[in-house]
Structure 1
Amino acid sequence: MPMPSAPEARYLIARSTNDPTDLKGFLMFQMVEEETMDDDVMAEVAYCYELQLSEDARNQGLGEYLMDLLFQIGHHWKMEKVMLTVFKKNKGAMRFYTERMGFSLDEISPGACLPRSKARRFDYEILSKPC
């Protein structure tokens, strides 16, 4: 599981307790200013760019734990919300973020700010949750 490289990004890394070289997963995030529907207002956001778990680490609460850590970090640094982008076809991820983690469509997500006919053209949604 190669980790992407981005100088401004931060990572939460989960390793096996028995073998520190056994990477179980990671969450890549960055503190950014993100647009809002108000042209003059930017939101301070902890943006989750990637959450990856190894096959053997899935469905054991690790993804929820990493996301909870990101919320704690965002809250500590007084971010307004945690945001992420998810592909519509990734039904498992969409269920995880909305049903398990309590995310909803952000105001700038295609499904929230465009008519249904135009929103269908996009293969992703932007989700958020207040810190």
Structure 2
Amino acid sequence: MYAASKDGWHDEQKKEEMRGPEARYLIARSASDPSDLKGFLLFQMTYEETMDDDKMAAVAYCYELQLVPEARNQGLGEYLMQLLVDIGHHWGMEKVMLTVFKANKSAIRFYTKKLGFDLDEISPGACLSALQARKFDYEILSKPC
């Protein structure tokens, strides 16, 4: 989906993000074989803008949730995201945020219908006119910790 997005895929930029000192991971492995990786969640504790120019929000930002195909639809993604909400709550974050491609309809359903995320106030679909929002191929979702 990155490759098909307006910004495209950039190996070096993604490697930098994934190896950055602020990057944190939740790793899912098979209980019977620790070398059998099932997926991961990459996140950072950071500050994000709000619609109030004078206020930044403390957030646990999910940068990537990736599961191998055979591990999908078994509750693992939901479990990893709930761990992130719990971590954010523990560290006093205001909310959990993530960016999702509009073309990824199954991910949008997962985050909104199953996990209770909503459009964040800074998401294009929430703060721009419909015409302006169409220029963006992503939305920003959030939910309180």
Q: Distance in 2 between matches of 1:40 and 1:65?
A: 34
**Aligned residue number for residue 45 of structure 2:** 31
Alignment of 1:63-78 (within 5 A): 63-78=77-92
**Aligned residue number for residue 125 of structure 1:** 139
Q: Distance in 2 between matches of 1:24 and 1:43?
A: 32
Q: Distance in 2 between matches of 1:38 and 1:121?
A: 23
How many angstroms does 1:25 deviate by? 0.6
Q: Distance in 1 between matches of 2:82 and 2:51?
A: 27
TM-score by length of 1: 0.96
Q: Distance in 2 between matches of 1:55 and 1:5?
A: 24
Sequence identity, in percent? 76
How many angstroms does 1:88 deviate by? 0.1
1:13 paired to 2:13: no
TM-score by length of 2: 0.87
Unaligned 5+ runs, structure 2: 1-14
Root-mean-square deviation (CA), in Å? 0.9
How many angstroms does 1:18 deviate by? 1.2
Structure 1 residue aligned with 2:57, among 31, 43, 57? 43
Q: Distance in 2 between matches of 1:88 and 1:6?
A: 27
How many angstroms does 1:6 deviate by? 2.4
**Aligned residue number for residue 93 of structure 2:** 79
- What is the letter of the counterpart of residue 40 of structure 2? F
SS of structure 2 residue aligned to 1:40: coil
Question: Greater CA deviation, 80-89 or 5-14?
Answer: 5-14
Unaligned 5+ runs, structure 1: none
Q: Distance in 2 between matches of 1:59 and 1:104?
A: 21
Alignment of 1:40-119 (within 5 A): 40-119=54-133
Q: Distance in 2 between matches of 1:102 and 1:55?
A: 23
Q: What is the number of equivalent residue pairs in this alignment?
A: 129
Q: Distance in 1 between matches of 2:28 and 2:94?
A: 26
